[in-house]
């Protein structure tokens, strides 16, 4: 007879509070529920406030991606005011957003995700001792370096934006700073120093060599090509993951969404990918096909979230937030809403960005075996190889450009706008309606709302829940497989649960 | 003897934790090693699962484990209707966990404005409050009479986020047994005894009333753009952020994030004024004298400031 048991599994080492319930039958997860367990209801703070106030309040939603919220808020107001940004403003906004993404990827990888490799469950793994040496919290060799190195990215944001986290240096029309050429050169030094660390410690090779890795076979060749590759943190990750079976867990739906990000300035040497006017393309990938992205197809479902659901799933411009604490009996179980694209759940993040961009290495894994913990985390470790050279290029272009950083605009009292971009964890959107020069409605959908969403009215689980179901658990009291799957999405619950429809 | 520290995140964004990680000399790891601080639990850093928080909490509340420092980040959420259900841990309101840990701790630190005064969400549907203050009012979650094991009130370290040097410095003071001198909001004078604009590179513009009305300029932002630098206490322009700069230096107004009333109810990026002079003036200044001084200062302003020809 099968034994069915529900395990209540609160999770730390994620941003914010996440509790997952898993139902285990014969050591296999047969169902899962992921729940945001905090509600901060920003909506009353913003409704009725002045047009620019979102630039101060929304970055405070999240302590690790405040620059992303700032940029989304500023973009929504660019659209509202219909103001065209000077090229320098576009570059500075992009550089700071990318710096924030880069710091996040390594803090997540080496301080949150890889720490699970030191879980006693892996005592018999041949690389266990080395994992402890590298990733032990507060003492591991890579951990110690990560704390010091990621600070460089935040120094860049501080030079251009005053401080990290929680600045408000982006405003409709551009940025408030007027960096001197010395400020920009300092940023460039910091980036080049960071590149050195990334190449030496994380990749074990030059970014240019890494860029030649275009298939799973190519990855294998790269791993065995040099000792520095095998010993780098990326090489170690690949070796550890192989033995731990991370390619076999965390599949989920294979639906991916990217909102697109990093508008290209008019005059830049950075190459336009395909037809997109952005360096990171928007798109929705489903059934092994890429579809054009249309923000009108986004809805938020609250059938299983603690909000009044009498109005059904709605586009963010039409949605509302009425908390409805019913307890567990109503089928509602989370403070996170369930965003859907074209009625479908979709995962977002570095992996989704690379799938939508048809990255050849990533697509080889997606087409042969499908998504997994392995490829999801791989994408996060290699994303910086795409970003770093572009940050350097845009900084160089700004040093030599005497144009403005801010474009003033005409006063306006009524209208709407939205700002979409790719934050560290994926698709982030702010939607704002302005009436009589006051905020009438403000809605935010965060990356983790996509990934860690609860079920919707059609019964579709959230992508993270779906990824857990079917997983074989070796030790139900210490289900490290579930840890890996959840953390491979880099959940940020402080964002999600606060921001449900600001 | 090592110092046992427990860090709990409540109604907040995690920004104080990441601000703490901005610390460079010493960084967080070095700080813990130098001062032999034993981290019993931190939600983001600890290897231990959340279930081990349950056993740590039991050990602390039963007295089996001493708790030297309790750090609370984020506000205490009491909503809806005082139940605390908007922020739960292990199926129970997190506020109850905070209350039981605070009753056993030798020192309690409120890290950031939300933990100090309620901050974002104070007086809203989530019923957020600070540990011992709700905005300017004494009381908060633990009550006016609360004293920690060291006979001190909750030490407030406001800021959104709190600066890393303030967190590190407060821990260092506790380790060394130094008594931090507290002001009326229970913030240490060491860091909150100065105004934010002290050290701002725009001070010469401030001095001669060369004031900006639009973004992207070099002058002072106090008269029109809502800067609170001369009004609010904090060390931003002394210790600098990320060892590099500050908001006001790059042209972002100070929003007064260390103050009990943060976030303000009136619009950001605008100064409330009467006939062009800010309604709120620096502490202890007579309005008549200030108007006379600013009028003369503007008349005395040198051309290089009026034409923004300075290299800041």
Give tens-digit pLDDT for B76-86.
Answer: 999 999 999 88
A11-25, A477-491, B174-188: least confidently modelled range: A11-25
Instruction: Tell me what pLDDT residue B212 has.
Output: 97
A176-190, A281-295, A300-314, B238-252: least confidently modelled range: A300-314
What separation, in Å, do the N-terminal and C-terminal C-alpha atoms of chain A show?
48
* Cβ <8 Å between B216 and A494: no
| Domain B3-192, architecture per CATH | 3-Layer(aba) Sandwich (3.40)
Could you read off the pLDDT of A46-73 as tens digits, one per residue? 999 999 999 999 999 999 999 999 999 9
DSSP-derived secondary structure letter, B169:
H
Instruction: Tell me what pLDDT residue B26 has.
Output: 92
Nearest CB to B160; choose among A62, A161, A166: A166
Instruction: Tell me what pLDDT residue A327 has.
Output: 67
Instruction: Tell me what pLDDT residue A466 has.
Output: 97
Q: How far apart are CA B19 and CA B174, in angstroms?
A: 20
> What separation in angstroms does the CA of B207 have from each of A39, A309, B63, B231?
45, 56, 56, 15
| Token duo for residue B261 | 């009333």
Confidence of residue B118 (pLDDT cuts 50, 70, 90): very high
- The pTM of this model reads 0.97
| Token duo for residue B302 | 């040198």
Instruction: Tell me what pLDDT residue A326 has.
Output: 67
Question: Is the model's pLDDT at A458 over the cut of 70?
Answer: yes
Confidence of residue A499 (pLDDT cuts 50, 70, 90): very low
> Smallest Cα–Cα separation from A496: which of A2, A107, A36, A144?
A36
CATH of domain A4-499: 1.10.645.10
CATH of domain B195-312: 4.10.480.10
Q: Is-contact B46 A166, C-beta < 8 A? A: no
Q: Is-contact A229 A235, C-beta < 8 A? A: yes
User: What share of chain B in percent tops pLDDT 70?
Assistant: 99
Chain B contact present for A47, CB below 8 A = no
Q: What is the mean pLDDT of chain B?
A: 95
According to DSSP, the residues that pair with A9 across neighbouring strands are A20
**Do you know the residue count of chain B?**
312
Q: What is the mean pLDDT of residues A151-173?
A: 98
Could you read off the pLDDT of A177-191 as tens digits, one per residue? 999 999 999 999 999
| Token duo for residue A83 | 């103001």
DSSP, residue by residue, B280-300: S-STT--HHHHHHHHHHHHHH
Strand order in the sheet with A256-263: A256-263, A278-286, A289-291
Q: How far apart are CA A59 and CA B248, in angstroms?
A: 17
A130-139, A313-322, B119-128, B291-300: least confidently modelled range: A313-322
Higher-confidence position of A79 and B25: A79
DSSP-derived secondary structure letter, B185:
T
Could you read off the pLDDT of B64-78 as tens digits, one per residue? 999 999 999 999 999
Closest residue in B to A336 (Cα) is B86
Q: Provide CB contacts within 8 A for A287, sequence distance 6+.
A: none
Chain B contact present for A321, CB below 8 A = no
Nearest CB to A53; choose among B15, B236, B267: B267
Task: Enter the ipTM.
Answer: 0.97
Q: How far apart are CA A237 and CA A242, in angstroms?
A: 8
Angle at alpha carbon of residue A235, lines to A389 and A422, rounded to 5°: 40
CB-CB neighbours of B120 under 10 Å = 25
According to DSSP, the residues that pair with A426 across neighbouring strands are A423
Q: What is the mean pLDDT of chain A?
A: 92
Q: What is the mean pLDDT of residues A145-170?
A: 98
DSSP, residue by residue, A69-138: HHHHHHHHHHHHHT-PPPHHHHHHHHHHHHHHHHHHHHHIIIIIIGGGGGSGGGTTSTTHHHHHHHH-TT
| Distance from the B254 Cα atom to the nearest Cα atom in chain A, whole angstroms | 10
Residues of B in contact with A49 (CB under 8 A): 267
* Cβ <8 Å between A164 and B242: yes
User: What sign has the CA pseudo-torsion A330, A336, A340, A345?
Assistant: negative
Confidence of residue B50 (pLDDT cuts 50, 70, 90): low
User: What share of chain A in percent tops pLDDT 70?
Assistant: 95
Closest residue in B to A108 (Cα) is B44
Q: How far apart are CA B74 and CA B116, in angstroms?
A: 8
* Cβ <8 Å between B89 and A10: yes
* Cβ <8 Å between A162 and B43: no
Instruction: Tell me what pLDDT residue A497 has.
Output: 38
Instruction: Tell me what pLDDT residue A502 has.
Output: 26
Question: Is the model's pLDDT at A461 over the cut of 80?
Answer: yes
| Token duo for residue B104 | 């056993």
Question: Is the model's pLDDT at A498 over the cut of 50?
Answer: no
Instruction: Tell me what pLDDT residue A439 has.
Output: 97
Q: Is-contact A266 A467, C-beta < 8 A? A: no
* Cβ <8 Å between A39 and B86: yes
Instruction: Tell me what pLDDT residue B130 has.
Output: 98
- Ordered by start, the domain boundaries in chain B are 3-192, 195-312
Chain B contact present for A144, CB below 8 A = yes
Q: Return phi, psi of residue A33, to 5°.
A: -135, 120
Q: Return phi, psi of residue B294, to 5°.
A: -70, -35
Could you read off the pLDDT of A16-40 as tens digits, one per residue? 677 888 899 999 999 999 887 777 7
């Amino acid at each position: 007879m099968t034994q069915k048991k529900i395990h209540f599994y609160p999770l730390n080492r994620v941003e914010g509070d996440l509790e997952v319930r898993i139902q285990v039958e014969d050591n296999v997860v047969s169902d899962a529920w992921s729940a945001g367990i905090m509600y901060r209801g920003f909506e009353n703070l913003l409704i009725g406030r002045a047009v620019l106030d979102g630039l101060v309040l929304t970055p405070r939603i999240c302590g690790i991606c405040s620059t992303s919220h700032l940029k989304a808020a500023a973009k929504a107001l660019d659209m509202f005011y219909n103001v065209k940004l000077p090229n320098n403003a576009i570059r500075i906004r992009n550089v700071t957003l990318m710096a924030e993404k880069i710091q996040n990827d390594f803090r997540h990888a080496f301080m949150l995700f890889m720490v699970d490799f030191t879980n006693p469950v892996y005592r018999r793994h041949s690389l266990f001792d080395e994992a402890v040496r590298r990733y032990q919290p507060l003492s591991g060799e890579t951990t110690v370096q990560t704390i010091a190195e990621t600070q460089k990215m935040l120094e860049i944001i501080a030079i251009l934006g005053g401080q990290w986290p929680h600045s408000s240096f982006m405003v409709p029309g551009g940025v408030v700073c007027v960096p001197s050429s010395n400020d920009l050169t300092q940023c460039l030094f910091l980036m080049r120093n960071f590149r050195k660390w990334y190449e030496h410690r994380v990749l074990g090779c030059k970014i240019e060599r890494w860029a030649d890795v275009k298939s799973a076979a190519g990855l294998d060749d790269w791993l065995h090509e040099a000792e520095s590759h095998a010993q780098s943190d990326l090489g170690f990750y690949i070796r550890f993951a192989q033995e731990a079976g991370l390619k076999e867990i965390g599949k989920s739906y294979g639906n991916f969404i990217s909102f697109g990000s990093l508008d290209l300035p008019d005059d830049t040497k950075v190459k336009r990918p395909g037809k997109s006017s952005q360096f990171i393309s928007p798109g929705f990938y489903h059934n092994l096909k890429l579809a054009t992205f249309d923000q009108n197809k986004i809805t938020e479902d609250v059938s299983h979230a603690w909000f009044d659901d009498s109005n059904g799933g709605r586009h963010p411009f039409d949605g509302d937030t009425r908390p409805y604490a019913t307890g567990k009996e109503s089928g509602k179980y989370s403070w996170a809403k369930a965003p859907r694209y074209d009625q479908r759940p979709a995962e977002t993040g570095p992996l989704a960005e690379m799938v939508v961009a048809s990255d050849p290495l990533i697509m080889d894994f997606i087409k042969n075996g499908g998504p997994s913990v392995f490829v999801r985390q791989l994408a996060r470790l290699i994303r910086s190889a795409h970003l770093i050279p572009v940050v350097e290029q845009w900084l160089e272009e700004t040093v030599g450009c005497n144009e403005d950083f801010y474009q003033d605009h005409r006063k306006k009292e009524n209208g709407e706008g939205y700002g979409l971009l790719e934050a560290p964890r994926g698709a982030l959107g702010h939607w704002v309606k302005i009436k009589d020069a006051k905020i009438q409605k403000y809605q935010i959908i965060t990356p983790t709302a996509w990934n860690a969403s609860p079920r919707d009215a059609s019964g579709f689980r959230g992508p993270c829940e779906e990824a857990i179901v079917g997983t074989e658990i070796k030790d139900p009291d210490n289900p490290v497989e579930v840890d890996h799957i959840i953390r491979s999405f880099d959940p940020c619950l402080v964002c999600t649960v606060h921001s449900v429809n600001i | 003897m090592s110092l046992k520290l427990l860090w709990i995140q409540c109604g907040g964004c995690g920004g104080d934790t990441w601000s703490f990680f901005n610390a460079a000399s010493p960084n967080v790891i070095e700080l813990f090693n130098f001062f032999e601080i034993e981290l019993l639990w931190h939600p983001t850093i600890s290897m231990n699962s959340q279930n081990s928080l349950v056993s740590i909490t039991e050990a602390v509340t039963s007295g089996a484990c001493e708790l030297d420092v309790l750090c609370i980040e984020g506000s205490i959420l009491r909503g809806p209707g005082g139940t605390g259900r908007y922020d739960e841990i292990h199926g129970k309101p997190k506020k109850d966990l905070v209350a039981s840990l605070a009753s056993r701790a030798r020192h309690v630190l409120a890290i950031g404005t939300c933990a100090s005064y309620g901050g974002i969400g104070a007086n809203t549907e989530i019923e957020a409050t600070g540990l011992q203050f709700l905005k300017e009012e004494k009381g908060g979650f633990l009550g006016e009479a609360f004293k920690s094991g060291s006979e001190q009130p909750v030490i407030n370290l406001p800021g959104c986020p709190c600066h890393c040097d303030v967190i590190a410095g407060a821990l260092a003071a506790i380790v060394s047994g130094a008594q931090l001198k507290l002001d009326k909001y229970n913030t240490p004078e060491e860091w909150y005894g100065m105004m934010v604009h002290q050290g701002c590179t725009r001070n010469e513009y401030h001095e001669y009333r060369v004031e900006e009305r639009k973004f992207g300029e070099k002058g002072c932002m106090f008269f029109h753009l809502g800067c609170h630098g001369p009004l609010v206490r904090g060390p931003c322009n002394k210790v600098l952020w990320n060892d590099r700069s500050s908001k006001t230096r790059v042209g972002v107004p100070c929003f007064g994030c260390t103050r009990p009333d943060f976030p303000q109810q009136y619009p950001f990026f605008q100064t409330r004024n009467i006939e062009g002079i800010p309604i709120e003036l620096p502490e202890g200044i007579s309005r008549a004298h200030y108007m006379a001084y600013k009028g003369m200062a503007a008349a005395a302003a040198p051309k290089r400031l009026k034409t923004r020809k300075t290299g800041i």
